Homo-oligomer: A and B are copies of this chain.
Amino acid sequence: MFCVIMAGGSGTRFWPASLRRMPKQFLDITGRGPMVVETCQRVGTLSRDDELILVIAREHFEETGRLFAGRGVHILAEPVGRNTAACIGLGALYAKHLGCKGPIAFLPADHFIADRSAFLRAVDQAASLAESGGIVTLGIVPTRPETGYGYIRRAGEKVTVRGGHAYRVSAFAEKPDLEKARQYVAGGEYFWNAGIFVATAETILREMENLLPVLHQGLERLKKSIRTPSFEKEIEAVYPGLESVSFDYGIMERTTCASLVVPCECGWSDVGSWDSLHELKKTEHDTGGNFSEGDSLLIDCEGSHVSSRGGKLVACLGLKDCLVVDTPDALLVADLHRSQDIRKIIEELKRRKREKLL
């Protein structure tokens, strides 16, 4: 089975651990190695290396080469980011060129999954459903009224599939407010949208032709140069002109083909902020609810997250719900529960033209 690993993002939410030149998917955020490598390992029993297609940003070509040296994975470099629809289209096109006729799994490279078996079971079920021409998405069974995720609402009718079941998708819902999120979780009809899709290349490209014709034309133009010396030049000419739209918005919310959701309970997290990483690391917390890594010393601290990656001691005294991230590039000290506001720092750094720190 082919997998397209979507690793082209340039998130800043883990600044200063993640910088433009080294975004989250290339970092060992969760303690299991670089996330993109772990994502590939996760599907190791499903796909051979030559069935893995990594879509990355061109500026990370060298780092990716380093991480996957000696392996036969396919690496596609986007000259500019054009959101997930383009990334998925490119991956599908490439897999088709490689001779793939069956379902392909499209996986974000920077998510955490605790229960690998449960995840692989769901992907397997999704693949079996996708064979008949629909687009299947994994629906993460919610464990709390999270306001930071999008949701998928299922329809009533159940579809049985290899040792489990799936549902028709009724609707995609934006990030809700807390009250709505509570209703979603209580009602049992909603799943978290993890942005994980399974479909054949044929289905993907057909839907794109219908719903995103400009994108599809771009991909058509690219087709001839795949795996030839002119590909890099072609993609550089084509990519900037593609519409930048998410696969959810551009395809899933508008498609008339059968879209299905496979429920999945696999301990998933998008690891979207320091705050959520802190939650994820709960089993490693000390008695004060603190997480610390690297050369650090915590005295009378509570609920704090301390990452010492700058090569020197980080000593903390009397902190509460505090985030401390020391790297060779910069130091961040913040209210842990405001870690989503790191963008304010990024904006200010841009304003001050501190390019090296972005």
Interface on A for B, CB 8 Å cutoff?
16, 297, 299-300, 308, 310, 312-320, 322, 324, 326, 328-335, 338, 341-342, 344-345, 348-349, 352, 354, 357
Contact = CB atoms under 8 A, between A and B. Distances in A.
B331 A317 contact: no
Given A328-B312, A354-B313, A319 B334 contact: yes
A328 B332 CA distance: 16
Contacts of A318: 334-335, 338, 341
A333 B342 contact: no
Contact of A299 (B317, B328, B345): B345
Contact of A333 (B16, B314, B348): B314
A311 to B, nearest CB: 10
Contacts of A352: 297
Contact of A324 (B333, B335, B338): B333
A315 B333 contact: yes
- Identical chains bound together, number: 2
B329 A317 contact: no
Most chain B CB neighbours (cut-off 10 Å) among A313, A331, A334? A331
Given A319-B335, A338-B318, A330 B312 contact: yes
Given A344-B299, A348-B297, A315 B331 contact: yes
Contacts of A320: 335
A273 to B, nearest CB: 12
B317 A335 contact: yes
Nearest to A356: B313
A313 B332 CA distance: 8
A322 B315 contact: no
Given A299-B344, A316-B334, A317-B333, 9 more contacts: A300-B344, A312-B328, A315-B332, A315-B345, A317-B334, A317-B338, A317-B344, A318-B334, A331-B331
A302 to B, nearest CB: 11
A330 B334 CA distance: 18
6 contacts: A297-B352, A300-B341, A312-B330, A315-B332, A322-B322, A326-B331
Contact of A331 (B312, B328, B334, B344): B312
Complex A-B, nearest 8 residue pairs according to Cβ-Cβ distance, in ascending order: A318-B335, A317-B334, A318-B338, A313-B330, A314-B331, A315-B345, A316-B333, A315-B332
Given A16-B315, A317-B338, A338-B317, A331 B345 contact: no
